[in-house]
């Protein structure tokens, strides 16, 4: 379809912003602070700060007063003319700082502004994510403490295994999130400034002009990388996105558990009064927040492939085939992690537990839960472990057939009482207490 044909399909007066692709990460999910962190204003004003930190004292005031005065239309026209984003913004900055124009970008490289800005933005991105992750951990910790004494079925292979508690299961989630907190803090603190280095990382013309340590400190970093090519090592991007991908796997696991428990009707994420679960089935309460987290986490986990491929294909001191890729994957990784943590916090602040449903499910499976202990009691009474296991296995499968094939109740205890297991079972039952006691 030609552009003229497309134009003819568009109603007159339509807002032009709706005619462009907009990533859902920005239009639907990400927080204002993370969107700003990866905005053009943050990027290009940081470029200007980096030029400011290199400037001579007499030009500082003029440059500093124009850091946020960015004519994006002029910059776009310049980039179209020179086909170079950094030089386009050099000209744009010089346009509003005529006294400083002679020294803007003096001795600098594109990587000086580009790479150092990426490092600053990633550091600030981690600073946005870490408090959000800590809040999710705190909310889940409160939930775990509130439900530490509520017995529930635990599962292996998604089959009922043994008794646990709702709080204990939440502790599994918390433990993984604490590892992610450690990993994000470590990745954030391991970031260094690229520093003031020349075209191939040798400092070259910089050496006589600038104090690397001073510029590093002005950027808010304690250290800079001693060894660089034209760019900082792209393995640094791998390290940063690895911890975000790992966080994605944790959140996917947590929200998958919540989705399964919602199917069991044991646990639900928040569901608002007027929320619609399905356009066709009005009774449905779909776990849409958890589904969103899983969907976005899948994207986050996949993004690690980009920096891995980029790091592996950097020829000698660098190539430019990293540039377009990094514009997408770095921003999307932090924006996606931000979306996920914001949604996870909402989930963890409003989890709803249904104790009666949990109790009913426990009672249905409790005779099976007790079989391992019964076998041990039979062995202590003189039985052979393998023979006891086989007898209990046969009776358990018979009881399971009653439930699955006939839709009846679990009659395993009745079957025990009609066999030679009864004497041992009766003795053992006296030792059972609380919710685990069998009514004989």
Which whole number is the average pLDDT over 243-266?
Answer: 96
Q: Is the pLDDT of residue 209 over 50?
A: no
Asked if 223 contacts 232 with a C-beta cutoff of 8 angstroms, the reply is: no
Residue with tokens 């530490």: 148
Cα–Cα distance, 137 to 348 (Å, whole number): 9
Neighbours of 390 (CB within 10 A): 11
Q: Which residues, in sequence order, are CB contacts of 386 under 8 Å at separation 6+?
A: none
CA distances for 108 relative to 138, 225, 332, angstroms: 45, 17, 28
Chain CA centroid to CA 306, Å: 17
**Residue 105 a catalytic site member:** no
Strands 267-268, 352-353: pairing is antiparallel
Q: Is the pLDDT of residue 284 over 50?
A: yes
pTM of the model: 0.78
Q: Per the structure block, which two tokens stand in for 173?
A: 């989630």
Question: Would you state the pLDDT for residue 294?
Answer: 97
Question: Would you state the pLDDT for residue 86?
Answer: 66
**CA angle in degrees (0–180, nearest 5) for 271-272-277:** 60
Question: Would you state the pLDDT for residue 200?
Answer: 58
Domain parsing of the chain, residue ranges: 32-103, 110-270+285-355, 370-436
Question: Would you state the pLDDT for residue 257?
Answer: 96
Q: Is the pLDDT of residue 353 over 90?
A: yes
CA distances for 291 relative to 171, 194, 279, 354, 410, angstroms: 21, 39, 17, 20, 33
Cα–Cα distance, 42 to 219 (Å, whole number): 14
353, β-bridge pairs: 267
Catalytic residue, from 278, 295, 312, 397: name it. 278
Q: Is the pLDDT of residue 274 over 60?
A: no
Is domain 110-270+285-355 annotated with CATH 3.40.50.970? no
Confidence category of residue 427, pLDDT binned at 50, 70, 90? low
SS (H, E, C) the chain: CCHHHHHHHCCCCCCHHHHCCCCHHHHHHCCHHHHHHCCHHHHHHHHHHHHHHHCCHHHHHHHHCCCCCCCHHHHHHHHHHHCCHHHHHHHHHHHHCCCCHHHCCCCCCHHHHHHHHHHHHHHHHHHHHHHHHHHHHHHHHHHHHHCCCCEEEEEECCEEEEEEEHHHHHHHHHHHHHHHHHHHHHHHHHCCECCCCCCCCCCCCHHHHCCHHHHHHHCCCCCECCCCCCCCCCHHHHHHHHHHHHHHHHHHHHHHHHHHHHHHCCEECCCCCCCCCCCCCCCCCCCHHHHHHHHHHHHHHHCCHHHHHHHHCCCCCCCCCCHHHHHHHHHHHHHHHHHHHHHHHHHHCCCEECHHHHHHHHHHHHHHHCHHHHHHHHHHCCCCHHHHHHHHHHHHHHHHHHHHHHCCCCCHHHHHHCCCCHHHHHHHHCCCCHHHCCCC
Asked if 153 contacts 410 with a C-beta cutoff of 8 angstroms, the reply is: no
Asked if 174 contacts 137 with a C-beta cutoff of 8 angstroms, the reply is: yes
Catalytic residue, from 8, 16, 157, 433: name it. 157
Cα–Cα distance, 237 to 308 (Å, whole number): 8
Q: Per the structure block, which two tokens stand in for 7?
A: 């134009």
Instruction: Please tell me the least confidently modeled range out of 90-94, 298-302, 370-374.
Output: 90-94
**Residue 141 a catalytic site member:** no
Tens digit of pLDDT for each residue in 285-319? 788 999 999 999 999 999 999 999 998 988 887 78
CA nearest neighbour of 105 among 199, 213, 32: 199
φ, ψ of residue 42 to 5 degrees: the values are -65, -45
Which whole number is the average pLDDT over 402-407?
Answer: 81
Give domain 370-436's CATH number out of 1.10.40, 3.30.750, 3.40.30, 1.10.3470: 1.10.40
Chain CA centroid to CA 271, Å: 22
Confidence category of residue 96, pLDDT binned at 50, 70, 90? low
Provide the CATH number for the domain formed by 32-103 in this structure. Answer: 1.10.275.10
Cα–Cα distance, 24 to 336 (Å, whole number): 10
As a whole number of Å, the CA-based R_g of the chain is 31
Q: Is the pLDDT of residue 241 over 60?
A: yes
Cα–Cα distance, 131 to 300 (Å, whole number): 19
Q: Examine domains 32-103 and 110-270+285-355 and report if their fold is the same.
A: no
End-to-end CA distance of the chain: 78
Q: Is the pLDDT of residue 440 over 60?
A: no
**CA angle in degrees (0–180, nearest 5) for 246-252-257:** 135
């Amino acid at each position: 379809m030609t552009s003229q044909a497309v134009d003819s399909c568009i109603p007159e007066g339509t807002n032009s912003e709706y005619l462009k692709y907009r990533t859902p990460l920005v239009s639907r999910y990400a927080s204002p602070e993370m969107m700003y962190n990866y905005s053009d204003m943050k990027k290009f004003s940081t470029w200007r700060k980096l030029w400011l930190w290199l400037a001579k004292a007499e030009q500082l005031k003029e440059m500093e007063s124009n850091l946020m005065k960015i004519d994006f239309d002029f910059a776009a026209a310049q980039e179209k003319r020179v086909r170079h984003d950094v030089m386009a913004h050099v000209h744009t900055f010089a346009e509003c700082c005529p006294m400083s124009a002679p020294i803007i970008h003096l001795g600098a490289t594109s990587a000086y502004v580009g790479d150092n800005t990426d490092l600053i933005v990633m550091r600030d991105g981690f600073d946005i994510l870490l408090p959000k992750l800590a809040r999710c951990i705190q909310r889940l910790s409160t939930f775990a403490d509130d439900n530490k004494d509520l017995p529930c079925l635990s599962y292996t292979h998604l089959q009922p295994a043994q008794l646990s508690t709702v709080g204990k299961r939440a502790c599994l989630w918390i433990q993984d999130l604490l590892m992610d907190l450690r990993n994000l803090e470590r990745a954030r603190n391991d970031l260094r400034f690229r520093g003031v280095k020349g075209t191939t990382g040798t400092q070259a013309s910089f050496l006589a002009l600038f104090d690397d340590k001073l510029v590093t400190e002005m950027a808010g970093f304690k250290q800079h990388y001693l060894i660089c090519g034209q760019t900082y090592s792209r393995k640094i991007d791998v390290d940063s996105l690895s911890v975000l991908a790992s966080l994605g796997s944790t959140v996917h696991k947590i929200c998958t558990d919540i989705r399964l428990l919602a199917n069991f009707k044991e646990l639900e994420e928040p569901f608002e009064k007027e929320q619609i679960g399905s356009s066709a089935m009005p009774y449905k309460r779909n776990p849409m927040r958890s589904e969103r987290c899983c969907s976005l986490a899948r994207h986050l986990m996949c993004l690690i492939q980009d920096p891995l491929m980029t790091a592996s294909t950097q020829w000698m001191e660098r190539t430019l085939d990293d540039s377009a890729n990094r514009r997408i994957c770095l921003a999307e990784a932090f924006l996606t992690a931000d979306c996920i943590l914001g949604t996870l916090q909402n989930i963890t602040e409003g989890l709803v537990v249904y104790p009666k449903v949990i109790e009913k499910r426990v009672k249905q499976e409790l005779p099976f839960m007790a079989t391992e202990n019964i076998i041990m009691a039979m062995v202590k009474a003189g039985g052979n472990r393998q023979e006891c296991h086989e007898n209990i296995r046969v009776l358990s499968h018979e009881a399971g057939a009653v439930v699955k094939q006939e839709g009846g109740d679990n009659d395993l205890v009745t079957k025990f009482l009609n066999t030679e297991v009864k004497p041992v079972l009766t003795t053992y039952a006296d030792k059972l207490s609380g919710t685990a006691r069998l009514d004989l």
